[in-house]
Amino acid sequence: MKNSYEKNVISKATIDRLPLYFRTLRLSQVEGIEIISSEELGQRLGITPEQIRKDLASFGQFGKKGVGYYIKELISNVGKILGLDNHWHIAVIGVGHLGWALAHSRNFDSLGFKLVAMFDTDPNKIGQCIKGVEVLSLECLKEVMQEQTIHIGIITVPEFYAQGVADKLVAAGVRGIWNFAPMKINVPDTVRVINEDLSVGLSSLSFYLARQTEID
Amino acid sequence: MKNSYEKNVISKATIDRLPLYFRTLRLSQVEGIEIISSEELGQRLGITPEQIRKDLASFGQFGKKGVGYYIKELISNVGKILGLDNHWHIAVIGVGHLGWALAHSRNFDSLGFKLVAMFDTDPNKIGQCIKGVEVLSLECLKEVMQEQTIHIGIITVPEFYAQGVADKLVAAGVRGIWNFAPMKINVPDTVRVINEDLSVGLSSLSFYLARQTEID
DNA sequence: TAGATTGTTAATCGATTAACAATC
DNA sequence: TAGATTGTTAATCGATTAACAATC
* 8-state DSSP, B121: S
Domain co-membership, A104 together with A124: yes
Q: What is the pLDDT of residue B57?
A: 97
Tell whether A214 is within 8 A of chain B (Cβ): yes
The answer to whether position A214 is within a domain reads: no
Are A76 and A60 contained in the same domain? yes
Per the structure, the residue whose CA is closest to nucleotide D23 at C1' is A65
> Which phi and psi angles does B118 have, rounded to 5°?
-135, 145
Q: What is the largest CA-CA distance in chain B?
A: 62
The answer, yes or no, to whether residue B215 has pLDDT greater than 80, is no
Higher local confidence (pLDDT), B121 or A147: B121
- Give pTM, 2 decimals: 0.94
For the residues B51-74, what does the mean pLDDT come to?
97
pLDDT surpasses 90 at A4? no
Interhelix angle A12-30/A71-81, rounded to 10 degrees, is: 140
Shared domain check, B131 and B109: yes
Q: Given this model, what pLDDT does residue A161 score?
A: 97
What percent of chain B lies above the pLDDT cut of 90?
89
Strands (E), A67-209: 68-70, 89-93, 114-120, 129-130, 133-137, 152-155, 176-179, 192-195
Residue A56: CB partners within 8 Å, gap ≥ 6?
Answer: A21, A38, A62, A63, A69, A74, A78
Q: Which nucleotides of D are covered by protein (CB under 7 A)?
A: 3-9, 14-19, 22-24
- Residues of B in Cβ contact (< 8 Å) with A105: 97-98, 198
Q: How many residues does chain A have?
A: 216
B151 touches chain A (CB under 8 A): yes
Q: Tell me, yes or no, if B199 comes closer than 8 A to chain A by beta carbon.
A: yes
- When divided into structural domains, chain B yields a total of 2
Q: To the nearest whole percent, how much of chain B has pLDDT over 70?
A: 95
Give the whole-angstrom CA distance, residue B81 versus residue B58: 11
Identify the CA nearest to B199 among candidates A78, A80, A99, A22: A22
Q: What is the CATH number of the domain that holds B137?
A: 3.40.50.720
Instruction: Please give the pLDDT value at position A212.
Output: 84
Say how far apart CA B46 and CA B164 lie, in whole Å. Answer: 40
Q: Domain range holding A69?
A: 12-82
- Within its chain, how far is the Cα of A146 from the centroid? 24
Shared-domain flag, residues B79 and B114: no
Whether the per-residue pLDDT at B161 is higher than 70: the answer is yes
**Domain shared by A148 and A71, yes or no:** no
Question: What pLDDT score was predicted for residue B213?
Answer: 76
- Given a cut of 80, whether residue B69 has pLDDT beyond it is yes
Give the pLDDT confidence of A143-194 residue by residue, as tens digits: 998 888 999 999 999 999 999 999 999 999 999 999 999 999 999 999 999 9
Q: Is there a single domain that holds both residue A102 and residue A152?
A: yes
Q: How many Cβ atoms are within 10 Å of B90's Cβ, its own excluded?
A: 24
